[in-house]
Amino acid sequence: MLLSPSLLSSDYGHLADELKALEKADLKWVHWDVMDGQFVPNITLGAPIIKCLRKESNLFFDVHLMVDRPERFLVDFAEAGADLICVHAEAGNHLNRTIQEIKKLGKQAGVALNPHTPLNVLDYILPELDLVLIMSVNPGFGGQKFIPYTYAKVRELKERINKLNLKTLIQIDGGVDLTNAKALVEAGADVLVSGSAFFNFPPYGERVKAFYKAIE
């Protein structure tokens, strides 16, 4: 299991320090929630911020674009230093083309699904994906309550991935905490995104240990 803390819940006034603290806690990934005020109600940060902070960190930058027509911004985020770019299936008209463009830019490609979106939207593109992000809350705000039917959705997706003999990772984002981490991993999750349930409980090294202990 990989833990990818969501900077949405971090101290935006000290992001460079937060990234250093995550590395010190022996984490490998960090999750960037990019919101545009259109696809979701909130506005967070953009490519210039990620570009400034890329030189401050060796973490794997897991960039989640919660934006309309994400194909407009792929080059910007690739050049900013994203390692993986994840777009929403609901956000554009030409998902296959968008995935191809991410790959051409030399980045890993992911697709995110809102809670109501069925898995069959992935039927023809799943083999092209490095990661599928299952939203376990409605996107746009931190601190929301986890949606229970996520477990069934993760199990079904894992079955499809195994049937096709793929290495596609399953990521969960929304309401992930110590109470549901084990059940999510048992259902098939590979990467857990945690925001307030992680950053609100420093020191980060101890919080990482708590998450790993929770899935034992």
Helix, strand, or coil here: 176? coil
pLDDT tens string for the chain (216 positions)? 999 999 999 999 999 999 999 999 999 999 999 999 999 999 999 999 999 999 999 999 999 999 999 999 999 999 999 999 999 999 988 999 999 999 999 999 999 999 999 999 999 999 999 999 999 999 876 667 899 999 999 999 999 999 999 999 999 999 999 999 999 999 999 999 999 999 999 999 999 999 999 999
**Domain around 18:** 2-214
What Rg value do the Cα atoms of the chain yield, rounded?
16
pTM: 0.96
Write out the DSSP string of 185-215: HHHT--EEEESHHHHTS--HHHHHHHHHHHT
CA atoms of 95 and 4, how far apart (whole Å): 24
Structure tokens at 205: 């090294």
Structure tokens at 124: 């023809």
CATH code at 184?
A: 3.20.20.70
Residue ranges of the annotated binding site for a divalent metal cation are 31, 33, 64, 173
Question: Which residues are known to be catalytic?
Answer: 33, 173
Helix, strand, or coil here: 146? coil
Q: What's the total number of domains in the chain?
A: 1
How much is the pLDDT for 140? Answer: 73
Residue ranges of the annotated binding site are 6, 31, 33, 64, 140-143, 173-175, 195-196
**Which amino acid makes up residue 205?**
G
**41 — phi, psi (to 5°)?**
-65, -30
DSSP state of 83: S
